[in-house]
Each structure stands twice: as C-alpha cells, then as structure tokens.
C-alpha cells in the first residue's frame, strides 16, 4: 500500500477516486505542527545567536497525527502531496517530523490541477522536499511571531486591549490610513467646462482657446467661462481636420490570485476571502459529468504561465466554437510576473474546457458557477484575437477656438465575443474638410474636483501587489485580520479606517517606522524570495531583525506616552463584574466591559458627546448668534469627525444640525422636497445632501441637474460626472449613464 498525504479532506477524496485500491489518501487538515499558541515559542541560542523555534502538535491535531502515523507504518511508500508553495512545502516538512521520518527521504509530489492525468504524472516524477522553501516559510513565520507577539502587548498597554500589530498587517493599515488622511485634507477646486454640441448633434470638447491648450482645470471660474462662451458664439467654425485610424484593444492575461480577487470583487461583489473559499472548492474537486474532479488549477499563484497543452486545447475550443478568424497565428503568452513573484505555478485556468459554464450550471453551486464562468471565459479570451476599433477625431476651428469630437466603432469584436463589452459605438456623421459647422447649443457648467476614493478590497489588493507587500496567500487574510481587530470597517465596498487605526499608525510611525514602511516590508518579501530561490542565510536575517526590533520594543515600553482610548468609569459591569470603560468607536463614544471579548456588555452614553461621570471630558462648544429654526434655541459650534458644524444647544431634545461656514449650494433644488442642496463632507467622502435632513434623506455623490432620467420606470434626476475621462450624465437613483449629447 502507498500513502499520499495532502492538506484537505476534499482534495483527499478527489485523488482517492483517481487512484483506486493500491493507495490510501489522507489529509493533514492544514498545519499539524506550529509555534505554541500560549507562549513566544522562540529561544535564542547563546553561542550561535540563532533563533530556535519550538514546534508542537496542537491538541486538536493529535488524532490526525496518530492516524497518519498508523497508516505510515503500513505504507511501502509515503508521498508528501501538500500544495506547491512555501506554505505547502513547510507543511510537508512538519508532517515528516511529526511521523518521525526524515523529510528529505520522503518523495514529494506536486501538481497544479487535481485531475487523473496530473496526479499520475506527479507520482511518476517525484522530487525531494525543498529546504530553501521550507526555510523561507520558517523565516516568515518567525518574523510574524516576533512582531505580533512583542508589538501587540505594547499596543494594548499604550492604547487599548485587543489590539495587534503585524509585519504585513500594519504596513497595509498605514496605506489605508494614509488614503483617509488624503481624503480628509482634500480641498475641492472649482473648474468649469464648456458643454458644446455642433449640428447635427455632435458632442465636442474645447481643446484650445486663443493660444492656451485647454485641460480639465484650465477654466477656473464663471467669469472666464462666460467670456469664452460669448466669444465662441460670435465666431464661425469649419472642419479643420479629419483623422481616422485603427486601434487594437489587447486581450487580457489569464487570472492570477490578485487579479481574480479584484475582478470577482468588482464584477461579482465577492470579498477576497469568499473568492478564495469558492476557488478552493473548484480546485479541490466538484461533481462533473465524469465524476468528482478539480475543475481549475491552483488558486494561490502570482504566475501568468500556462501549460502548452492547455493553450492548445483553448485554441482548439475557440476554433470549433467561434471560427478561425478568432485565433491568432501563434499562441499568446504572458510572462510578466507581479513584483516579487515567487513559485513557478501556472495561472488560474479551467482544467477541462469541455466542462463549459453551460454544462457546469447543472453541477455547481451558484457562487461556484459565477466564479468558474469568470475563470473559464477569461482563459479562452486570453488566447483569442485582439478587438479592433476604428477611431475618428475631427477638429472644428474658429478664429479663437479649437473643438475636438471623437468617435469610434467596433470593427472586429475579437475576445469581446467571449467577455462582452459595455462600450457602445459612438458614430460621427460624414463630414468634409473645410465644411462650415454651426453650434447647436453651448453651456458653461461648474464642477469641483473630487477627493481620492476610499480603497475597496479590490483596489487595496491591487495597491498591495504594486507595492510588493504580502503575497497571494496573504491578501485576503490580511484584510480579514484588520476587520477582526476593528481597525477597519467595510461599508458599501469602501474600506474605512476606525479612530483606533489612526492612533495605532501614529504611534508606529513615530516609534516603529520600519514596520509601517511599505518599502521595508517589500524589501523583506524580496529577502524571503532570495531564501526560497537562492538559499540565502535565513538565520542571520532573523537574528539581525530580532536584535534591532527588541531594542525598539524596550525603548517603547519606557518612552511611549500612554494614548489609552478607554477611560475607567468607576463602576462594574452588571453581567460579569469587570470594570466598565468609556471607549471611542466609529459612531462616537460608548460604554463597554473591560472583559471584552469574553463579555460583550455595552451601554449607550448619557449624551451625544459621550459624557459619562467625571472621567469623561465634554467637548468644547462655541456660542453663535444663530437661532435654531426648529425650536428657537441658540445654535452652537461643535467639532465632529468631519470638522465643525452647527448644532442646537437643546440637544438631545432637538437634534437639528446645520453646516458651518460658507456652504456650497447646488443650482437646482432637492428633487424630493424642494429644499436647498448643500455640498457636505462625511466619512465616506463629499456628497450633495438636502438641508431638510433627516426629514429628507436625499443624497447624491455628484451635483444634480434639472434633467430627468429617461430609463423606463425611473423617476430620478441626472447628475453630471466624469466617467472614463468623459463628462456624462448619471442618474442618482438607477445609476444609468447617458452621454451628454443624448440627455
């Protein structure tokens, strides 16, 4: 009997179906040995100064180890078949130690897909455990233990209980906090556009006025805009040039982990964590017409390589389904890897092209089908012809101004035949050189620049990949950890840092700059790559880091001033008897038990500001001469999370609030109640809101106009916004976008 040890039970079941009676397949269920949970678990060798980890089998893993040991005694050959990455290599090494075998003597088999062909080929071509990869994983694990185990207690003692710090976690949090700082510091800049339509219904952009090239921010105020309109209306235009050229849109590469997570988030609304869970089930084995099998390749990869036979199968599928004109002369390859790419995996692709999404619909769960369709169509698309467009640019010229009209039409759909496209043809009429042109309508429109957007999970992963922070296996867990530690909230796909996140990052920036420095984190990732790929000395890297880091920890214990966000209230929790604390949260102050997370007792505070007992400080307010239009009390100036605002002094009996200072007002009234629309700031960015809030809850990210949405059944109004570099109207309700010339 031969024994194959894999990581997951689902994978074990699938492989067992392929191999039959001569093989036993058992799952380790992930890591079976690790550093202890209850103590540091790393000793320092006094002579060599090397870091010596203490690994142990957790109590919950003991039955699994016992079962593997019993099967190993009966086995003629023991194959280590854990995942082909550093984590999998290390798991295999730990398994060997746990069953008292020499790791290097056990045959190691690897495969990128769980199919009968792939498993048979792997068994016929075993290798040894790669100790360089094992040491790279050990280095990462020990670095993370050092930072997490030593930094987290310091954060807890200086700020509040329950906080944690981490090598990748903290640098990721700084990226999020830095973006929030940009948003909070953003000051809108006024600019104007000259919306012009020439006969017959040709939308054109002003690109030159007198001697100045016109860019987005060139026209700064209404006076300037009106002067241009007056001049342009008085002049005659003619066609100055007509340029037609063809442009190709290249096929997208196949998916790797980061791009799959990003696309699944934007197109399917799946979180990175859920995406990886669904992908794992597709990889490990699902029901198909030919039995249980893995239907995609390994999902944790930063490679764009594709097996030659898989590419050939894709080309044949394209030929038979769509015809010869959709196949390029030679297969396409995508060899560019992400920054710091590591193991030589394949890209994520389907393993059986005959298992089409249409057939898969009868076998897969809804989420599995959605993700499988995404992967299947992307793989076919990457081996198809480019899409071909004809682009047209026409310049209309007068004595003072140049306008440019752009048009395009799809001449050959290429890979869009599989992926589809949201881009519509925009056709320009046939015009002749020097043909006179008349302006149909012209209108100056005011705009304001917008702050940078909050990160979504997809855009954050893209940023982490660009910075070289983390690896495919760490993106989703890092975001989940930040959520679990209440450093971030995710609302409507936007990542919002909490107040405690700012406090933690400010402390780390001052005392542990390396830990939150993206370049330092990326350099450490590159160092781990060198350990895995080139066998660099891992113990020296660990030792150097540990000595320097511990000096900072000891200095921090002495020198960091307490920034505790929780204040004792002098009374006990009615549920467990622990002390009650006044804490600061996303939505203001609240009272919570100091025994959290074991005890989850909370109370509301006595007032909006969180005044509770002598230990709580009331915020400062400034009196004004303004009278509350709801109850007649005086209005006072208060400070909120988004700056100063006016509030009724009779709070909480009257909860009336108003913007403070000069208020930017929309040109049109609120479409729901007729009140004034004001430009406001919130934790999610700037927006237009009704003055009658909370009675009227109308809001819009973009300034509404008096134009009505033309979509059947929708009564929303249109707001002008920039979409893909072009001014369009977007309905504030249904989000339907309409070209300016069609509104």
Q: Active-site residues: which are they?
A: 298
d(CA 635, CA 501) in angstroms, rounded, equals: 32
Q: How many CA atoms lie within 13 A of 456 on its CB side?
A: 15
Contact 727, 193 (CB under 8 A): yes
Detail the DSSP E strand segments found in 677-741.
677-682, 685-690, 699-700, 704-708, 717-723, 726-731, 737-739
- Determine the Cα–Cα distance for residues 263 and 315; give it in Å rounded to an integer: 24
Residue 102's CB: how many other CB atoms inside 10 A?
Answer: 9
CA distances from 590 to 75, 586, 600, 606 (A): 60, 10, 12, 9
Q: How far apart are CA 382 and CA 350, in angstroms?
A: 13
Rounded to 10°, the helix 538-559/499-511 angle is 110
The Cα–Cα gap between 720 and 730 comes to 6
**Which tokens hold the place of 261?**
């997570």
Please say whether the beta carbons of 478 and 169 come within 8 A: yes
Residue pair 650/621 in contact by the 8 Å Cβ criterion? no
Rg (the chain; Cα; Å): 31
CB 478 within 8 A of CB 470: yes
With 0-12 / 13-18 / 19 or more C-beta atoms within 10 angstroms meaning exposed / middle / buried, residue 324 is exposed
Backbone angles phi, psi at 428, to 5 degrees: -100, 145
The CA distance from 603 to 591, in Å, is 5
Closest to 428 measured CA to CA, from 437, 417, 419:
437
Enclosing H/E stretch for 410:
strand 401-412
Q: How far apart are CA 130 and CA 663, in angstroms?
A: 65
Q: For residues 199 and 456, give the distance between their C-alpha atoms in angstroms, rounded to a whole number.
A: 42
Report the alpha-carbon distance of residue 552 to residue 549 in Å, rounded.
5
Q: What three-state secondary structure class fits 7?
A: coil
543-546 long-range CB contacts below 8 Å, 24 or more apart?
543/49, 543/50, 543/51, 545/143, 545/146, 546/44, 546/51, 546/146
Q: Nearest 5°: phi and psi at 424? A: -100, 150
Strands (E), 88-236: 190-198, 202-209, 212-213
């Amino acid at each position: 009997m031969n024994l194959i040890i894999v990581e997951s039970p689902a994978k074990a079941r699938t492989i067992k179906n392929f191999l039959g009676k001569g093989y036993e397949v058992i799952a380790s269920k992930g890591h079976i040995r690790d550093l202890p949970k209850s103590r540091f678990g790393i000793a320092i060798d006094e002579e060599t100064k090397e870091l010596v980890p203490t690994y142990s089998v957790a109590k919950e893993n003991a039955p699994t180890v016992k079962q593997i040991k019993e099967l190993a005694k009966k086995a003629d050959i023991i194959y280590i078949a854990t995942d082909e990455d550093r984590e999998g290599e290390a798991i295999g090494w730990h398994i060997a130690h746990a069953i008292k075998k020499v790791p290097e003597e056990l045959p190691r088999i690897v495969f990128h897909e769980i199919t009968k062909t792939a498993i048979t080929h792997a068994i016929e071509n075993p290798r040894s455990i790669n100790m360089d990869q094992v040491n790279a994983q050990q280095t990462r694990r020990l670095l993370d233990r050092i930072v997490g185990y030593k930094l987290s207690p310091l954060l807890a003692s200086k700020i509040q209980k329950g906080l944690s710090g981490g090598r990748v976690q903290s640098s990721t949090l700084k990226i999020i906090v830095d973006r929030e700082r940009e948003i909070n510091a953003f000051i809108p800049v006024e600019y104007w556009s000259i919306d012009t339509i020439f006969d017959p219904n040709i939308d054109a952009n002003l690109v030159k006025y007198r001697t100045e090239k016109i860019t987005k921010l060139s026209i700064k105020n209404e006076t300037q805009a009106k002067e241009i309109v007056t001049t342009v209306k008085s002049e005659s235009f003619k066609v100055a040039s007509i340029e037609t050229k063809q442009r190709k849109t290249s096929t997208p590469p196949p998916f790797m982990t980061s791009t799959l997570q990003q696309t699944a988030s934007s197109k399917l609304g799946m979180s990175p964590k859920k995406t990886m869970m669904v992908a794992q089930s597709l990889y490990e084995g699902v029901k198909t017409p030919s039995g249980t099998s893995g239907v995609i390749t390994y999902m944790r990869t930063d490679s764009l390589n594709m097996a030659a036979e898989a590419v050939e199968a894709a080309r044949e599928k394209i030929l038979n389904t769509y015809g010869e004109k959709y196949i390029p002369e030679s297969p396409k390859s995508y060899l560019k890897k992400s920054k710091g790419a590591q193991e030589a995996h394949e890209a994520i692709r389907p393993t059986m092209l005959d298992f089409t999404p249409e057939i898969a619909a009868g076998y897969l769960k809804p989420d599995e089908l959605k993700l499988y369709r995404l992967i299947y169509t992307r793989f076919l698309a990457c081996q198809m012809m480019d899409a071909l467009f004809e682009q047209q640019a026409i310049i209309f010229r007068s004595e003072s101004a140049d306008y440019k009209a752009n048009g395009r039409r799809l001449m050959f759909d290429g890979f869009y035949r599989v992926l589809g496209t949201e881009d519509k043809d925009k056709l320009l009429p046939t015009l002749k050189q020097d043909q006179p042109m008349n302006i149909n309508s012209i209108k100056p429109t005011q705009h304001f620049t917008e702050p940078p957007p909050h990160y979504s999970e997809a855009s954050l992963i893209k940023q982490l990949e660009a910075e070289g922070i983390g690896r495919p296996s760490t993106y989703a867990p890092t975001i989940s950890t930040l959520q679990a530690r209440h450093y971030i909230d995710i609302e409507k796909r936007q990542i919002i840092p909490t107040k405690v996140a700012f406090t933690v990052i400010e402390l780390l920036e001052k005392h542990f700059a390396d830990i939150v420095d993206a370049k330092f984190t990326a350099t450490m990732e590159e160092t781990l790559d060198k350990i895995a790929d080139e066998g660099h000395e891992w113990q020296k890297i660990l030792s150097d880091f540990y000595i320097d880091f511990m000096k900072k920890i000891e200095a921090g214990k002495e020198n960091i001033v307490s920034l505790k966000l929780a204040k004792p209230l002098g009374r006990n929790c009615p549920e467990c008897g622990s002390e009650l604390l006044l804490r600061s949260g996303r939505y203001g102050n609240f009272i919570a038990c100091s025994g959290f997370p074991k005890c989850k007792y909370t109370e509301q505070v006595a007032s909006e500001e969180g005044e509770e007992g002598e230990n709580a400080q009331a915020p400062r307010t400034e009196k004004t001469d303004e009278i509350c239009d709801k109850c007649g009390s005086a209005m006072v100036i208060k400070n909120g999370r988004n700056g100063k605002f006016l509030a009724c002094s009779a709070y909480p009996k009257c909860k009336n609030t108003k913007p403070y200072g000069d208020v930017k007002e929309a040109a049109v009234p609120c479409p729901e109640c007729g009140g004034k629309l004001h430009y406001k700031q919130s934790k999610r960015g700037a927006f237009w809101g009704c003055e009658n809030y909370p009675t009227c809850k109308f809001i819009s990210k973009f300034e509404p106009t008096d134009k009505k949405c033309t979509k059947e059944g929708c009564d929303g109004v249109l707001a002008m916004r920039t979409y893909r570099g072009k001014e369009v109207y977007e309905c504030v309700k249904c989000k339907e976008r309409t070209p300016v010339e069609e509104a």
